[in-house]
Amino acid sequence: MSLVQAGKTYNLGGRDFIELTDYSTEEIRYLIDLAIEIKRKQKNGEAYQPLLGKTVGLIFEKSSTRTRVSFEVGVYQLGGHALFLSKNDIQLGRGETIADTAGVMSRYLDGIMIRTFGHDRVVDLARFSTVPVINGLSDLAHPCQVLADYQTIYEHKGQLEGLKLAYIGDGNNMAHSLMIGGAKLGVSVSIASPEGYEPDSQIMADSRELAAATGATIEVVRDPREAVKDADVIYTDVWASMGFEEEQKAREAAFASYQVNEELAALAKPDYLFMHCLPAHRGEEVSEGVIDGSNSIIFDQAENRLHAQKALMAALIG
C-alpha cells in the first residue's frame, strides 16, 4: 500500500514543519508512506535509528499528553535523545526572546519542536533557528496531528482522494489543518460551526485554492446534518481549546446543537470513521456511544502520532 510511485523519495532534510501549506501533495504523501513503513519496522522489531547521536528539544508552553509522549518515545526509538523543555523551567517563560532562544538552542540541538499559543511564535522560532522547527500545535494549526490523521484514514479506507470528512464544532487549529491537509490530499472537508466560531477566512480561501488542484471541495456550513450527510469520516474537537478555558460556559451554549451523537452520525455513511484528536469531553462535543462505539478509531489515530512524527523527524532531522 503506497501513496507515492514506487521507489520515489523526497529530500526534506533541514526543512521546518509549520503548516501543511509548506509541503506539496507529493511530499505529504511521501511522509505518510514513510510513516507506514516506519510503523511496520517498529512492529516487526527492526531497528531504524536515523537520529543516532542527535538531540531534539521539545518546548511546551501548553499542556500535552500525546504530543509530549509520542515525541519523546519517537526520538528515543529513532536512536536520538529528547529534551523536555517546559516554559516553567526555561528562560523563555521569564521573557527571554524567541530570537535569542532560537539562536542559543540551534547551537546545541539538531531539531526543535514547539507547542505554543500564537502561531507567530512558531514562525519566529523557525526564522531565527538554524535547525528544523516542528509545530507541535499553535492557536492556528496542528499539522502533526493532521499528518497522523490522514495516515490513519488511509490505513482504514485504503484511499484518501474522493473521501468526505465532516468536521463538527469549533473552527480552530484542528479545523484549519484538516482543511489544508484535505485540500492537498484530495479529501473534501465540510465544516459545520455555529456563528462566530467559523474557521479563519484566509485559511478557508487558501484551502479552497489548494483544493482546486486535487478536486476536493472545502466548505463551511451552519447545519451539522448537512456536513455529516454521506460523510466517510466524522471529526470533532473540544469546544474550548487551550487558552480559551474562561469561555467554556459561553461556548457550551453556542455549541449545544453541535454534539456528535448517534442521531447525527446516522446521516453519515454506515462505515463512517469517528475521529477526535483528544483530549475529549464525553457528553459535550461527542456522546459516549459514538466515541466508544465500533466506528471510533481514536486510539489508532493517537498511536499514529508516534509513527507520523518519527517519519517527520527522520526526513527533516535524520
Catalytic residues: 115, 142, 145, 237, 277, 305
* Least separation in angstroms between CB 160 and ligand NVA: 22
Check residue 252 and report its DSSP letter: H
What are the residues whose beta carbons fall under 8 Å from the beta carbon of 76, sequence distance 6 or more? 82
Is 309 a binding residue for ligand CP by CB under 6 A? The answer is no
Binding residue (CB under 6 A) for ligand NVA from 173, 190, 193, 309 = 173
Binding flag, residue 304, ligand CP (CB under 6 A): no
Contact of 111 with 54, CB cutoff 8 Å: yes
Contact status: 242 vs ligand NVA (CB under 6 A): yes
From ligand NVA, ligand CP, none, interface partner of 293 (C-beta below 5 to 8 A by class): none
Least distance to ligand NVA, CB of residue 63, Å: 9
Residue 280: exposed, middle, or buried by beta-carbon count in 10 A (0-12, 13-18, 19+)?
middle
Interface segment toward ligand NVA; rule CB under 6 A; list 42-50, 51-59, 178-186, 233-241: 233-241
Task: Decide: is 152 part of the binding site for ligand NVA (CB under 6 A).
Answer: no
Q: Give kind and range of the element (H or E) at residue 151.
A: helix 143-157
Q: Counting contacts by CB under 6 A, is residue 152 touching ligand CP?
A: no
Nearest to 55 by CA among 94, 83, 33, 16: 83
Q: How many residues does the chain have?
A: 318
CB of 175 to ligand CP, least distance (A): 14
Q: Please identify, using beta-carbon distances, which residue of 14 and 279 lies nearer to ligand CP.
A: 279
- In order, the DSSP letters of 26-95 are HHHHHHHHHHHHHHHHHHTT----TTTT-EEEEEESS--SHHHHHHHHHHHHTT-EEEEEETTTSGGGGT
**Of 174, 204, 260, 273, which lies in the binding site for ligand NVA, with binding defined by CB under 6 A?**
174
DSSP state of 183: H
Of the candidates 159, 170, 148, 158, the one whose C-alpha atom is nearest the C-alpha of residue 254 is 170
Among 145, 177, 188, 309, binds ligand CP (CB under 6 A): 145
| Contact flag: residue 65 with ligand CP (CB under 6 A) | yes
| Total interface residues for ligand CP by CB under 6 A | 9
The residue among 12 and 240 lying less far from ligand NVA, judged by its C-beta, is 240
**Which residue has cell 523519495?**
9
Q: Is 238 in the site for ligand NVA (CB under 6 A)?
A: yes
Quick one: which of 228, 235, 226, 179 has its CA closest to 204? 179
Exactly one of 102, 179, 180, 277 binds ligand CP (CB under 6 A); that residue is 277
173 binds, among ligand NVA, ligand CP, none (CB under 5 to 8 A by kind): ligand NVA
Among 70, 101, 116, 241, binds ligand NVA (CB under 6 A): 241
Q: Which is nearer to ligand CP, 67 or 287 (CB)?
A: 67
Strands (DSSP E) along 65-169, which ranges? 81-86, 111-115, 133-135, 164-168
CB–CB of 142/174 below 8 Å?
yes
Residue 192 parent element (H or E): strand 188-192
Closest to ligand NVA by CB, 124 vs 237, is: 237
Measured from the CB atom, the residue of 20 and 216 that comes closer to ligand CP is: 20
Contact residues toward ligand CP (CB under 6 A) are: 64-67, 137, 145, 277-279
Binding residues (CB under 6 A) for ligand NVA: these are: 137, 172-174, 237-238, 241-242, 277
